[in-house]
Every structure is written in structure tokens, then in C-alpha cells.
Amino acid sequence: MLNISDRSISKELHKKKFSSFRKIKDLYSYSFDRLVKVVILMIIVIIVIMFMPWTQNVRAKGDLIALSPEQRPQTIQSVIAGRIEKWYVQEGQLVKKGDTILRISEVKDDYFDPDLLGNTQLQLDAKKFSRLSYEEKVKALENQIDALEKSLKLKISQAENKVKQNILKVTSDSIELQATRVNFQVANEQYQRFKSLFDEGLRSLTDLENRNLKYQESQAKLISQENKWLTSKNELINSKIELNSIQAEYKDKIAKANSDKFSALSGQYDTDASINKLKNQYNNYQIRNSFYHILAPQDGYVTQARQVGIGETIKEGAQIVSIMPVVYDLAIQMYIKPIDLPLFEKGQKVMIQFDGWPAIIFSGWPGISFGTYEGEVLAIDNFTTDNHMYRVLVKPKHDSHPWPTQLRVGAGIKSITLLKNVSVWYELWRQINGFPPDYYKKKSDSSSVNK
């Protein structure tokens, strides 16, 4: 009806008599009732879902690495500078530990001598002979010193005996001098008495002359004895001087021999230092010769050659090739925000999705997720990396499904670290307000701490 006129005929029209009006009314009433039921059902389902459990989680990205540092990809470097002469491997080739990767030649003029080791050995042998000569010289000087010391003792003993003899001689001459003086005094007194008697006429001139002769003889003996005594004293002094001279002479000889001995010892020690230096050089040259062949440090695959060609010069520490070990244990390094750091602890469960592996993930309901693998937190860094995030290491969980064998180091991953179970409405409220997940500790950890 257009309702153009103000006069309505709705009251005059009996709609129940017409089946068309009746069907339209029934259809409208059925659709509205069905919509109400659907809306009510949806509200009930939403309410039920709101009270269902939801597992809080923290998502992170990372990549696969080898668990042990020695199993991670490494570059082989040259210890010495050299020129590439020959390659023995190619990229992608499997090498065993100790296999030769390439050979280099010398570029420093200090090591150009082809018989460097032999010449160094000759120098070392010459220094050793020189050391033996010094040893023999030291022994000879020690023997000379011993002989001088023994001779000194004998000479001193001889000189001391001579001094004692001269002392006794001086004593003997002194006693004889005293006796001669007494005889001279007696002869003088007798001469004076004879002279008195001669003056009185009681003695003849012959007797006086005889007595005078005896007096003169006794005086001569006195002078001779005094001279002999003085000579004995001089001999005593000379013997003492000779004793001191012997001591000084032999001390000088012994000192000179000791000086020569210490000079020889100094030369011997210098030779020892030279020998040790030559030994060090010889060992260095010998070890350097082993660096001309670059060897594989472990079993692995040659992945990339950093130096190429023949005749190219490389420096010390230059990277030559990179190698990937054959045997390695996989682990994951993932990076988390500082705000999520308190939520992580060792042994915590982590759900992992590897790049290239199909997966259906329901982050709140890990039990119905498909294509994820389990891991557990192994270590957490105590400092941030260059991207201002904390690195977390994750290893495979020992009692879970093993990780795919086709995985390779460097592949990307996405992780979901499972936290506390809460209601869906609480999780929506937390997400809307931007609150972090709930911080909690596992009961096993707390119980162990209490114990």
C-alpha cells in the first residue's frame, strides 16, 4: 500500500481470509525467531569461550645453531703469510681431520734459505762445541786453582819454618852476644888489672901485651857477634817479608785464575743462552715448515673458499676457507625483549616452528597445534646483544618427538614459549591493556628451593 490518501482501509481489510497475507506473516515471524536463537547461541558460545583456559605465551624469532662451539661453522686461517701454490679441495667436498686443503710457499726473505734447518743445526752444533770448550777451560782453571792453593799451603809452611829458624837463630845469636859481652867485660877487667900490675912492676910487658891481645880478640869477637846477631835479625825480617810475599803472590795468582774461571763461566752461560736461542729458532723454523700445508682441523664440508687462485698472496690470520663440521648437535638461539626476560628460566618448555615445515598453530591451545616441535631453555644471556635483545639458547627436549633430520644450521625458526594457564577473557583484557604475561615460578622449582 502506498498510503497516499489519509483514509486507511487496514481496518476494513480482513487479512486472515487471504492466504497470501497469512503466509507472509508466518515467514517473517520464523526468520526473526531463528535470528534470535542464533544470536543467543553465539552469545552463549562466546561466554563459554571466554571462560575456557588459555595458555599465555611469548613469541620470538631466531635461527638454528650448533650446540657446541666446536661444532659450529668455522673459518680456517693461515698462521703465516705466504703465496698460494696448490689447492687440494673444492667447495662442497668432504674432508677428514688432517687432510691438506692447500699448500703455500714462503714470501719473507728471512726464510728463503732452502736449507734453513740444516744451517741452523750446524750453528747449534758449533755452539755446543764451544760450550764444551768453556766447560773444559773451567775445569782446567779449577784444577789450577786447587794446585795453587796446595802450593800456597806448602810455601807458607816452608816460609813459616824458615821464620821460626831465623827466630831461633836470632835467639841463639843474642845469647852468644851476651856471652861475648861478658867475655869482653872479663877481658877488659883482666887487662886493666894486668896494666895496674905492670905499672907496679909486678907483671912483665909481655904478659901485659898478651893480655891486651886477648882483650883485643874478645873485643873483635864482640863486634863479630853483634854483626852476626844483626844479620840474623835481618834474615828474620827477610823471612817474614818472604812469607808475606808468598801469600801475596799466590793470592794474586789464585785471584787471576778465579777471574779467568768466572770469565769462562760467563762465556759458558752466554753460549748456553745462544744455544737456547738457536734451539728456539730451530723449533720455530721446524714448526713454520708445517704451516706451509693448511690442514683441516676436523671432519667437515668445505663450504666457501675465501681466497682463490694460484699465486695469490695471503697475510697472517687471513681467512682461507670456511668449513662446516659433519657431526653437530642442533640448538636454537632466539632473541627476546627485555620486558619478557623475567618470564624465562632454565628448563622451560618451548614450542618451535621451523621454516619450511608446515604447521597449524593455536598459540593458546598448544595441545591441538600441529607441526610444532618441543624444546627446553638451556641458557639465558646476562647481557643484551647488538639488537638490544637477550639471547636464549634452546635445546631439544629429550622426552619429546625428535627434531627433523633435514634441518641445517642457519635455518630460521619461530618459537612460542608456554607460560601460565588463564581464562580467555583475562588474556583479552591483558592484551587490550598492554600488560605483560603473568610472572610465575614452577612449583617444582619453588619446592626444591624451600627444601
> Which CATH number covers residue 164?
1.10.287.620
Stretch 377-385: mean pLDDT: 89
Mean pLDDT on 84-94: 91
Per-residue confidence at 278, pLDDT binned at 50, 70, 90?
Answer: very high
For residues 96 and 162, membership in a common domain is answered with no
pLDDT band at 405 (very low <50, low <70, confident <90, very high): confident
CA atoms of 152 and 125, how far apart (whole Å): 40
User: What pLDDT sits at residue 126?
Assistant: 92
The pLDDT of residue 192: 79
| Same domain as 336, residue 309 | no
Q: Is it the case that residue 111 has pLDDT exceeding 60?
A: yes
Range of the domain at 81: 73-106+292-325
pLDDT for 9 equals: 54
| H or E element in which residue 104 lies | strand 100-105
370 vs 329, more confident: 329
User: Once rounded to an integer, what is the mean pLDDT over residues 81-110?
Assistant: 91
pLDDT of residue 438: 60
Q: Which residue has the higher pLDDT, 185 or 370?
A: 185
For residue 200, pLDDT beyond 80? no
Mean pLDDT is lowest, of 57-66, 183-192, 306-315, for 183-192
Q: Which residue, 397, 416, 407, is CA-closest to 354?
A: 407
Q: How many domains does the chain have?
A: 4
Model confidence at 108: pLDDT above 70: yes
Separation between Cα atoms, residue 183 and residue 177, nearest integer Å: 10
- Reported as half-sphere exposure (CB side, CA atoms, 13 A), residue 259 has a value of 6
Rounded Cα distance, 196 and 289, in Å: 122
Phi first, then psi, for residue 19 (nearest 5°) are -70, -30
DSSP tag of 443 = H
Chain centroid offset of residue 323 CA: 27
161 & 272 share domain: yes
Q: Does residue 194 share a domain with residue 252?
A: yes
**pLDDT for residue 451:** 36
- Residues 353, 359, 363, CA angle at the centre, nearest 5°? 70
Q: Tell me what the mean pLDDT of segment 118-139 comes to.
A: 90
**Residue 191 corresponds to which amino acid?**
Y
CA 327, 329, 330, 336 dihedral sign is negative
Q: Quick one: pLDDT band at residue 299, thresholds 50, 70, 90?
A: very high
Do 256 and 136 fall within a single domain? yes
Kindly state whether residue 451 falls inside one of the protein's structural domains.
no
**Res 447 pLDDT > 70:** no
Q: At what angle do helices 205-290 and 116-200 cross, to 10 degrees?
A: 170
For 11, the 3-state DSSP assignment is coil
DSSP summary character for residue 404: P
359 sits in the region (left: phi over 0; alpha: psi -120 to 50; else beta) called beta
Counting residues of the chain whose pLDDT is more than 90, the rounded percentage is: 22
Mean pLDDT over the full length of the chain = 82
> What backbone phi and psi angles, to 5 degrees, belong to 253?
-65, -45
> In what helix (H) or strand (E) does residue 87 lie, and over which residues does it extend?
strand 82-87
- 165 and 234 in a single domain? The answer is yes
